[in-house]
């Protein structure tokens, strides 16, 4: 799964990297080195022929949901079932997005210990990951705004797949990382072929990731700051 990641690159740089329009100043997010579920995150979407970097709620709320809290359980979608799960299958054919990340965290089990070693995973070239994602638009018709319009929540989820050889040393799953050559197909809402979309949901090449241990401070979503991604001494399981 992918439950915590880093989103610290300036939005104008991200927008340029993905060929998208940058968000307006009032929707600019602060750098976040410990992004957690239910927080607001950036996602690249294509609508009406234009690509934009937008701020969405992390935790997909299906359009048919009665309670938006369902999104708390929808931070990830499995590549193997995304085309058949009721929560994701419509979004797969109509509302795909890319979620930029400077890296992500995963916790490696330590043999002979109840503790886990947090690891930071990033690209060797320093470029951002392009996670495959889906987005949805949920409307609360029971709570209209001052103009009588239903409240709208735009939310997203990150698609995961089986881990590649490098990632398997830490966890059995990883986010789907889309190569630049797949961005146009993935983002184009006119392409509604679920089979074509799911063909892109494969593990990234092992050489695309590097990792190192980081402090257990990252375990709490209350902690933030660039120091969280700095290399740390591995946990000593014999002293715990």
Buried/exposed 113-127: b ≥16 CB within 10 Å, e otherwise: eeeebbbbbbbeeee
CA 168/CA 108 separation, integer angstroms: 10
φ, ψ for residue 57, nearest 5 deg: -80, 130
C-alpha closest to that of 4 among 181, 214, 208, 206 = 214
Residue that is written with structure tokens 């043999």 in the block: 111
Kindly list the distances between the CA atom of residue 171 and the CA atoms of 20, 125, 188, 235, in Å, as whole numbers in the listed order: 32, 22, 31, 17
Q: How far apart are CA 192 and CA 165, in angstroms?
A: 31
DSSP assignment string, 96-108: EEEEEESEEEEEE
Measured CA to CA, the distance from residue 153 to residue 61 in angstroms comes to 8
Which secondary structure element, helix H or strand E, spans residue 204, and what is its range?
A: none
Verify whether residue 161 is a known catalytic residue. no
Catalytic residue among 2, 97, 156, 161: 2
| Catalytic site residue from 46, 97, 106, 156 | 106
- The residues carrying an active-site annotation are 2, 106
């Amino acid at each position: 799964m992918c439950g915590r990641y880093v989103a610290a690159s300036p939005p104008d740089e991200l927008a340029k990297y993905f060929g998208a329009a940058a968000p307006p100043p009032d929707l600019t997010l602060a750098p976040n080195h410990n992004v957690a579920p239910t927080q607001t995150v950036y996602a690249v979407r294509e609508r009406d022929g234009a690509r934009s970097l937008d701020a969405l709620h992390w935790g997909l709320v299906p359009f048919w949901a009665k309670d938006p809290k369902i999104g708390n359980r929808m931070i990830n979608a499995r590549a193997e079932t995304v085309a058949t799960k009721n929560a994701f299958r419509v979004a797969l054919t109509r509302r795909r997005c890319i979620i930029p990340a400077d890296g992500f965290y995963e916790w490696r089990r330590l043999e002979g210990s109840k503790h886990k070693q947090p690891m930071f995973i990033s690209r060797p070239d320093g470029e951002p990951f392009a996670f495959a994602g889906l987005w949805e638009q949920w409307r609360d018709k029971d709570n209209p705004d001052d103009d009588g319009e239903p409240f709208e929540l735009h939310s997203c989820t990150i698609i995961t797949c089986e881990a590649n050889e490098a990632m398997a040393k830490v966890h059995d799953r990883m986010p789907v990382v889309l190569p630049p050559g797949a961005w146009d197909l993935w983002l184009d809402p006119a392409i509604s072929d679920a089979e074509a979309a799911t063909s892109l949901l494969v593990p990234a090449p092992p050489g695309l990731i590097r990792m190192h241990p980081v402090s257990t401070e990252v375990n709490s979503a209350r902690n933030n700051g660039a120091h969280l991604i700095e290399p740390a001494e591995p946990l000593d399981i014999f002293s715990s």
